[in-house]
Amino acid sequence: MKAVTVRELRKALNDHSRDELVEICLRLSKFKKENKELLTYVLFESSYEEGYIENVKEEIDMQFDAINTRTFYYIKKSVRKILRTVKKFIRYSKNKETEITLLIYFCEKLLEVKPSIKKNRLLTNLYIREHNSIEKKISKLHEDLQLDFQNMLEDLAEKESDF
């Protein structure tokens, strides 16, 4: 079965009643965990973004604590998985400040991984890539927010130099 465009979906959804839309949403939530997570964000967490950020940070902490640090192979796999999870939560929010905050937090936690990521080129490149993307995203924000996030990025650079 071929999926239709978003425009066609919007037209079709406009033709349904409120009860039918509720039923469609509940049916969607039964099929994929991501659908359920997105509905949870939209219905319960979108009104309090700070709480959402804290919940995601706790999830990041748990995942970083669970990393198998025996070899860099396992560290790389785990870090990539964590980054995929972070980007998934960012997609739910669509808020630029949330995106930058979570990516900075991810980079902070990545620098704390033992053994140091400096000993592995792939992990170092991943860190640099994320750091550069944060800088680009900051430049697109309002000036006041830019200053706040630049300060957070400078703090991150100080931690980076400590390693």
The answer, yes or no, to whether residue 157 has pLDDT greater than 90, is: no
- Is 70 inside any structural domain? yes
The pLDDT, as a whole number, for residue 53 is 94
Mean pLDDT of the chain: 89
Give the type of residue at 64: F
* DSSP symbols for 10-57: HHHHHTS-HHHHHHHHHHHHHH-HHHHHHHHIIIIITT-HHHHHHHHH
In a domain, 43, yes or no: no
What's the pLDDT band for 154 if we cut at 50, 70, 90?
confident
Question: 65-117, pLDDT tens digit by residue?
Answer: 999 888 899 999 999 999 999 999 999 998 999 999 999 999 999 999 988 88
Amino acid letter, residue 32: K
Asked, for residue 6, whether it belongs to a domain, the answer is no
Residue 116 domain-assigned (yes or no): yes
Confidence band, pLDDT 50/70/90 cuts, at residue 21: confident
Q: What is the mean pLDDT of residues 12-27?
A: 87
Residue 3 included in any domain? no
Q: Is residue 24 one of the residues assigned to a domain?
A: no
Q: Are 156 and 107 in contact (CB under 8 A)?
A: yes
Compute the distance between CA of residue 89 and CA of residue 93 in angstroms, rounded to an integer. 7
Which residue shows structure tokens 């748990």? 62
Give the pLDDT confidence score for residue 116 in this predicted structure.
85
Residue 22 within a domain:
no
In a 3-state reduction of DSSP, which class is residue 137? helix
User: Which structural domain, as residue segments, surrounds residue 142?
Assistant: 48-162
- In this structure, what token pair is assigned to residue 59? 């999830």
Domain count, the chain: 1
**Distance, first Cα to last Cα, the chain:** 52
Rg value, the chain, Cα: 19
In-domain check, residue 144? yes
Residue 163 pLDDT level (bands cut at 50, 70, 90): low
